[in-house]
Structure 1
């Protein structure tokens, strides 16, 4: 033969793949347009196919260019990888691998490294070469210099297929970018865009780890969406799913007739809850595959952050299993040591390779050190979703206002552990599906109270330590639960209540981004100070957010349906505090009847441990924010002192230890 059948691929090229160190294995495996040298004809163009199937008797490429009859592939010596160069084949060719196992049975499989795939229910892999020219150089330069923990992060979580159902990547590059820019979010987080045939899985059952879903367009069209978001100053977070994969017989499962990517033992290799396989994290080739996949998205698609799904299911061998249904580790424990090693590997590698990248864990247990650096014994994530805060705060607002006083510490407990990790506060898709009810319908009583409570809650969330995440539709109070089969209820945005809530979220983002006190010290106790954490009798919470330059914002939330018109609060400084937010404003469809006339004046009269105090109006079911402006005039101080003499005394109950309140164990596994 005048040229190499494997297209120049050798066992040396694959050494890193087998020792777990090839973190760009998509460049060697899969389908690639290449040019080879033929001794008789010179340079010849075509496509090189390569697939790892070490236990196969033989492998063929079944494709449209051979009428699906199969071209025999060559086993590259000592590699377990089969290769074939096919002259004249270019982009757009449809193909699959036909694999004969050791029992002589044939299995038709899609390419694990395919960059593009047919739309479901078809599933052939497609030869694809990106020709995209990026226009986000300025964003990428700024990203490399960014300090995420000390930067604002207000995340809009999106399921692309149902944000506006039927829209393509190209259409979303206009309409989604316009909406996110208008609303003032700093980031979008995309539910998995990796190819998945079963739409109701929302992308969490991935069959093609290297291919964006083709329902919405071609891979370069997805690149265009990311590019347009970056050019608009919006970061892109992508949900990544290394925790499991589906059992579709044409995908990764039992790839060459054996458990290649997964554990063979169902006690280690199967998720009962989801009906899926679990990756064998201890296998070097699987490490190369998964770490390469993470690097692929952040380099080839300029993704700024990966949010790793279901980390708890990876960390524990007994996750959602009964006694006798799991295999202990070598020390007899329940921790999945191989998965822990893998997570440390992928986090360490991406942070080293891609300046400015962020890794985020959805981790629902009390596993220690999720966001601690790997060299300090942690897992190495940049952020962790605060599932405890989410569960507690939602339980609080689901109570009638009169009953909230008995569950007050549900809203304050998160400060006990607020600085144990770098947190994101998530109100995600998981909170508005499967009978949990939409955000607006979690709140009891009539529509006025529902919308007012949600406005107060979002304001409390935006001012609390931690970055913010809100799922699409929650920002305008969609009434029905999320479903992937329908678009959001955009028509309600013009209605009373919905429009006001949406306007509030827009203003929250604007005020938040403009004030470093609300985000620059999220991971530092110096950025937060309680004013009053114990006012259970009046359902109020008050605290001060601060930055390193001295900016201070006092945040007061009233979850009672009663207005407190003469509420006395302690403050860290006497002087003028301007009212920069009042969620009861008529602008947000509030009553417009209660406010502080734009400012309060604090006098040097100590109260509840603070050197100064002021009298404020706290409207019913609302939040008000005050920014410190500086010293007040003598006349202002005199008037404020007179008003303070008439102020209502805040009810201060006997302190209750947050460690003995009603508070659930972390979800996910028994701890």
Structure 2
């Protein structure tokens, strides 16, 4: 007991009937004395040494009782934790053992509750290899000797109900391994943590009163691949550095709403020890980072975004976790959340551990975590990070550094099963949710339903389009004709998956330069190409994602230390044309996009797209039509040459005798040269249009109504 290696402290401590009456035992290190208070009588316990006190009272049955404990600082009447039955039910243990507890956070972790008529907190943790587990925290001066937990059989779960312990208390689990080593670990299921660099878990409960019922009731009315979906990617700690969740709730929703994005995507908000990881090395999978506030504060931010009509996607990181010795790594002294085979456990790229997705309890930990964010925080979707690194056993590994699967292949069958289970569970439990895969290979069926053998994601990032298109626009215009196919190749596979076109944080850091700085030429040409590219992107089949700062053509790379260069929007710096103009374009792109079903309704239907000009490599021109299920089409024309092209012929569908310009990235209000088409253009025989194409610009046209 004193070494923290007892698996059933309740068998010794507490009150137990036996020969001669009822034996009362209490383990209270540093106590001067302990008495039992029962039936109106106070009886001292004998000091057995080393903090153990006991007495036998001539009683026929165990009475209701409390303990009166004396320390140098005074006397305290307390409930005895060891008089309580387990506060975790058999059904919970059965589901944990099967790996199918879809609300695992309600069974494991620290749960404030009333148990047997007494208010306190139930502590539970999965540590099957431990010889003993104790709870340490502020309430026992971080000495867990007096709070050993009991093992609940073969489940590997340890449990202890501590009366009088409530919200705000800091704690960790003190684990004793089979070989006697002892260390403190943060709770893997902690719903709240200390702000880094402190690492303790914090007892918490949800109290936020949601006001987004209208949003939730209708978010699933239209399947996401048939709806407008324009995403603003945000790193919360640096969007406006220094703001809390509640302060962000005052500024972020109106900003995103003004620009017309349908969703925000939040880079990981789960707790992480190192801010420079941007949240992608998670230690607290069930806790929003305490850097910006409490879990209820984060709920308030999500609620505010929903009330503004903005969906919330959250980056989710099940591919790996860091090696910090106070967190998940070798949690109970042995590989537990990570595989025992180092070839499988060690992630070669990030110096982290991978999850053991073949273990039912680990898979349950992650599946329930996905459900947790969507049910407890009303998150509308999860963008799953680094899916490719999960799918392949040889990912970033050389020969001899990996072992094939049971069929001799390189596919990680456990990861496939996990992703299918996660998607199927999430979609069945949370109406209107969407999962998005960051998957950078040609794995087949990422967005195919699981019952058809797919992974079951709703959408997939189109990394091929991103690499190819950025490669094209980064070339000097005179060289672009040699790379023309890089802009058209995406349409060869555009309908193989349900795609998102991502210009994410990964493309504007680590020497890759910001989006506008990738463009060649002088500052005017860079901004013009930036605008033309956004116009091409918003018209291309697939949903859109744009990282913060790129909506106003920030010239510098993003840094988490100071965030976007908001000063560029100050008119004192001449920002009206340079940067505010680009932001005005993004606002107009989103506005026209949302009101034009042709741009999003048939994103996954080949009938929703038709090339008009596909082989004009010498001209650096691309033109295509987008179609809705019914209603007029939209014609998008991009001229990635720095010259004006007069009378450019474009074949258009019959039945539309006149077309009008609805958006032109060369407009003066965006910072362009104002080569516009202010009046409707009538078709010639063919039918075809003859347009003047502005330089380094994208133009959208639609048939004149009536």
TM-score higher than 0.5? yes
Of 523, 532, 537, which residue of structure 2 is paired with 1:456? 532
What is aligned with 1:621? 696
Match of 1:177 among 230, 250, 253: 253
Q: How far 1:20 moved relative to its partner? A: 1.4
Could you tell me which residue of structure 2 aligns to residue 18 of structure 1? 97
TM superposition shift of 1:147: 1.6
CA distance in 1, matches of 2:459, 2:701: 29
2:216 to 125, 128, 140: 140
Q: Over residues 8-67 of structure 1, what are the superposed CA-to-partner deviations in whole Å (9 max), with x where a residue is unaligned?
A: 224542111121111111101000111122xxxxx1110010001111111110110111
Residue 515 in structure 1 maps to residue 589 in structure 2: no
**Is 2:648 aligned against 1:567?**
yes
Which residues in structure 2 correspond to 1:4-153 (within 5 Å)?
Answer: 5=84, 7-37=86-116, 43-70=117-144, 71-153=147-229
In the aligned structure 2, how far is the partner of 1:6 from the partner of 1:379?
Answer: 42
The offset of 1:119, in angstroms, is 0.6
Q: TM-score, normalised by structure 2?
A: 0.87
2:24 alignment counterpart: none
Q: 1:649 — aligned with what?
A: none
Using the TM superposition, give the Cα deviation of residue 5 of structure 1 relative to its aligned residue in structure 2, in angstroms: 4.3
Count of residue pairs the alignment pairs up: 619
Distance 1:525 1:80 in 2: 52
| 8 Å Cα contact 1:5/1:83 also seen in 2 | no
Determine helix, strand or coil for the equivalent of 2:484.
helix
Match of 1:482 in 2: 558
Q: 401, 406, 424: which is aligned to 1:330?
A: 406
Query: What's the counterpart of residue 40 of structure 1?
Result: none
In structure 1, C-alpha distance between the alignment counterparts of 2:665 and 2:582, rounded to whole Å: 9
Q: Aligned to 1:78, what secondary structure does the other structure show?
A: helix
How far apart are the structure 2 equivalents of 1:8 and 1:490?
52
Aligned to 2:328: 252
Instruction: Give the distance between the partners of 2:467 and 2:424, measured in 1 at CA.
Output: 30
Confirm or deny: 8 A CA contact 2:680 2:704 kept in the other structure: no
Residues 129 and 178 in structure 2, CA contact (< 8 A), matched pair in contact too? yes
How far, CA to CA, are the matches of 2:677 and 2:112 in structure 1? Answer: 68
Report the 3-state secondary structure (helix = DSSP H, G, I; strand = E; otherwise coil) of the residue aligned with 2:618.
helix
CA distance in 1, matches of 2:162, 2:168: 14
Partners of 1:253 and 1:599 lie apart in 2 by 65
Within 5 Å, give how 1:98-497 maps onto structure 2.
Answer: 98-494=174-570, 495=575, 496-497=577-578
Q: Deviations over 1:496-523 (max 9, x none)?
A: 3211111100110001001101100000
Q: Tell whether the 8 Å contact from 2:96 to 2:155 is kept in structure 1 after alignment.
A: no
* Displacement of 1:7: 4.2
| Structure of higher RCO (CA pairs closer than 8 Å, 6+ residues apart) | 1
C-alpha contact 1:59 1:98 (8 A) present in aligned 2: yes
SS at match of 1:33: strand
Q: Secondary structure at the match of 1:226?
A: helix
- Looking at structure 1, the residues matched to 154 and 490 of structure 2 have their Cα atoms a distance apart, in angstroms, of 54
* Cα deviation code 1:60-99 (max 9, x no counterpart): 1011011111111111122211111111011000000010
Q: Is the 8 A contact 1:196 1:207 kept in 2?
A: yes
C-alpha distance in 2 between matches for 1:482 and 1:498: 16
Query: What's 2:76 paired with?
Result: none
CA deviations on 1:180-209 (whole Å, 9 max, x unpaired) are 011110000000000001001000000000
**Are the counterparts in 2 of residues 50 and 81 from structure 1 also a CA contact under 8 Å?**
yes
Query: 1:598 & 1:165 partners in 2: Cα distance?
Result: 46
CA 1:164–1:6: 2 relative to 1, 3 Å: farther
Q: TM-score, normalised by structure 1?
A: 0.91
The 8 Å contact of residues 493 and 502 in structure 1, kept in 2 or not, is answered as no
Residue 86 of structure 1 aligns to a residue in which SS? strand
**Alpha-carbon distance between aligned partners in 2 of 1:87 and 1:630, rounded to the nearest angstrom:** 72
Q: After the TM superposition, which of the residue ranges 384-393 and 542-551 deviates more from structure 2? A: 542-551
Task: Give the drift of 1:143.
Answer: 1.2
Greater shift, 326-335 or 68-77, is seen at 68-77
Q: CA separation in 1, counterparts of 2:398 and 2:193?
A: 38
RMSD: 1.1
Secondary structure in 2 aligned to 1:561? coil
User: Any gaps of 5 or more consecutive residues in structure 1?
Assistant: 38-42, 607-611, 632-671
